[in-house]
Every structure is written in C-alpha cells, then in structure tokens.
Amino acid sequence: MRDVMRAGTSPIEVLRTTLATLGFGKKNGVHENAEQWTAPSGRCSVTIHAGMNSVPAPRNSHLIGNLKIFELPPGATVDGRYVRLSPAEISILVVLARARDRHVSLIELSNTVNAGAAMSLRALTVHVHGLRRKLAENRSSARIATKRTRGYSLTADEQPSRDARYLM
C-alpha cells in the first residue's frame, strides 16, 4: 500500500481499490460527501468521508426527542450515550427518521432496509420489536408507533410534568 501511495495515487483511491479487492460493495446513497462500502456478508461496513483541508465532514443527523440518529456513519445516541443496534435496526431508524411525521408502510420499509433483496415482513416485525425494546431500555423518549393500515412512524413522547407524575 505504501508503494502505491508513493506512486502518486491518492489515499482515497488506494482505499477504494483495497475495499473492492476484499469484496466490499459500494452503496449508493444520498450523501454527496460520503460513500459506504459493505462486506459481502453484510456484517462489516466502511464509510469514507471526503473532507476539505482536514476538516471533518458534518454528520447528517435527525433528532427525535432525546434520540439522535446519524446517517453516515450510521448510529444512534440517547442523551449522548451510544445505543448498540444491529445494521437492520439502524436502517429502520434512518428510514423512519427521514419520513418525519409520515407513516412508512411495511412494504416500503422492507424494500429500503436491506441493500439487496427485500426483507421479509416477519423479519421486519422482529427487528422493529427488538428496536422498540432497545429504545425503552435506553430510556429514549422516541417511540415507534404503529398504524394498522398505514405502517410505522417515529414519534417523541411528551415528557410528563413533575406534577403530572404524582397524579398518575
């Protein structure tokens, strides 16, 4: 790799070539300053950010209640604490966050979560159930709401006032 870099090739091109040689596939995304490469097994991914003058690229994020969802590199935090999520769970969160207040149908969600073939509806409901559990465990105010005929949406619970807790 050092020999290639000495030959005048940019480090980004060397990285792209190395990833392609290892069998990683490039995902086309909506981000113009980043590209994501995924291993054939889907268990490992690499995100390349193109920065100017050593300044890191800004992270595109969505804030729903105390849940912050990052698109690239993908991830989520609750009150600044990292939440351990599977790649499918992160994909579900990103799709729901992009939809804002709109409900996302199960078919639409199953087609956008996986990079390749659509995820089965049963697998999708299992991932949503796990995601709901993890959000609750981490005390997130964001919840996944289900509308029977329309699909899922991501909403933020209103925090009850201090006096309202005593009235319950």
In a domain, 55, yes or no: no
In a domain, 113, yes or no: yes
Burial class (CB in 10 A: 0-12, 13-18, 19+), 118: middle
Domain around 141? 61-156
| pTM check: above 0.75 | no
In a domain, 98, yes or no: yes
How, if at all, do strands 45-49 and 67-70 pair? unpaired
The pLDDT-based confidence of 18 (bands split at 50, 70, 90) is confident
What's the total number of domains in the chain?
2
Q: What is the pLDDT of residue 115?
A: 58
In a domain, 168, yes or no: no
What pLDDT, in 10s, does the model give residues 121-148?
A: 898 999 999 999 999 999 999 999 998 8
Q: Does residue 71 share a domain with residue 40?
A: no
What pLDDT, in 10s, does the model give residues 41-68?
A: 767 777 776 665 555 555 678 899 999 9
Q: Which tokens in the block code for residue 50?
A: 């193109």
Helices (runs of H) and strands (runs of E) counted in the chain? 6, 9
96-116 average pLDDT score: 83
C-beta neighbour count of 93 within 10 angstroms: 26
In a domain, 167, yes or no: no
Q: Does residue 71 contact residue 93 with C-beta atoms inside 8 Å?
A: no
The pLDDT-based confidence of 1 (bands split at 50, 70, 90) is low
Q: Does residue 70 share a domain with residue 140?
A: yes
Q: Does residue 9 share a domain with residue 86?
A: no
CATH number of the domain that residue 135 is part of: 1.10.10.10
Tell me how far apart the alpha carbons of residues 60 and 156 are, in angstroms, rounded to a whole number.
Answer: 19
Q: Which of 153, 127, 138 is nearest to 67 (CA)?
A: 138
